[in-house]
Every structure is written in C-alpha cells, then in structure tokens.
A = this chain, B = another copy of it.
Amino acid sequence: MNEIKHAIQDDYPDDFAWCYGCGRLNEEGHHFRTGVDGEKTVTVYTPQPEHTALPGFVYGGLIASLIDCHGTGSAAIELHKLNGGSVGDGAEPPRFVTASLHVDFMKPTPHGVPLKAVGTVEKIHPKKFKVVTEVFAEGEICAKGEVVAVVMPETFLKKG
C-alpha cells in the first residue's frame, strides 16, 4: 500500500494542524499522512530534493521526523480505535505528543524514492503508547524507530 486514502491527520482539529511534520495547515511542512493497513499503520513520504545527508542519500533528521509524526499519528489511530472510532470517520481523534524518540539508522537511505514507514502500536497505559516503526525504501529496511507518545496535556494549547 503506497497511497494513504484516509489519514488520521486529516481529522486533527484545526488548532492541532500546525505541526511542521504532519500539520495540514502548515504550508511549509512535510504533510506526513498516516493511515491503516490491516493491523499496521503506514506513512508514505517522498523526500524533497533538498533533504539530503550526502548527495544520493536521505537526511537522517528527515527520517527521524517521519518516525516521530508517524508515531504520534499511529498512537492517535490506536486510541481512536479503542474509543470506538476509525480513521476517516470524521470524528476528532485524540491528540498525542512525543515523550521520546529513538532511531537506529541501519543502512544509507536512497534519495529520490518514496519512503514507507510501517508501525506497530502497543498500549503502555491508557494515555501512553509505544510505536515501533520500520522505514523501507524500495522494499529494503533502512531505519528502525521507536516512539513513546502520550496524550497531549491541556497546557500545550494555552501558549498559542
């Protein structure tokens, strides 16, 4: 699956849609979109020409960003499901923020092809989820990531 028809980020409320990674209202951002494929979550993104580490290879910080937003999006999908919702139902999904992010760069990631992040979500407790992600390019795994995502504290929205 390389096309995300319904993405959880499509239904984030407007005040939560400004993320540089996955906010649909952030014009300069990456617009990562995370959907469901069976028991897994999937985000597909083709890096821009400038997202290089060295010529021909993808910048690690972009891969970390992909794993980060794929992680919070996957956690939102999982809790939305546990709450009785589904991606694409138009209902406002829960909001998550990243507590920690880990990335193992397994091989140089070729530039110029779509990257596919595939995630598995595990509930740690009702407000805390772990998402293990594998990032593939041309069918080969290039990076492995782990995100611990927590339900966003209300205080986050006060500053804006």
B56 touches A61 (CB 8 A): no
Number of copies: 2
**Mask of A53-80 contacts with B, CB within 8 angstroms, 1/0:** 1111101111011001100000000000
Question: Which of B50, B61, B108, B155 has a CB less than 8 Å from the CB of A64?
Answer: B61
Q: Flag whether A123 is at the interface (Cβ < 8 A).
A: no
Q: If A60-B68, A68-B61, A69-B61 touch, does A19 touch B53 (CB 8 Å cutoff)? A: yes
B97 touches A159 (CB 8 A): no
A-B contact sample (19 more), CB < 8 A, given A15-B54, A54-B157, A97-B105: A15-B55, A18-B53, A20-B50, A20-B52, A20-B59, A20-B62, A23-B52, A56-B159, A56-B160, A57-B160, A60-B68, A60-B97, A61-B61, A61-B62, A100-B103, A101-B101, A101-B103, A108-B159, A110-B159
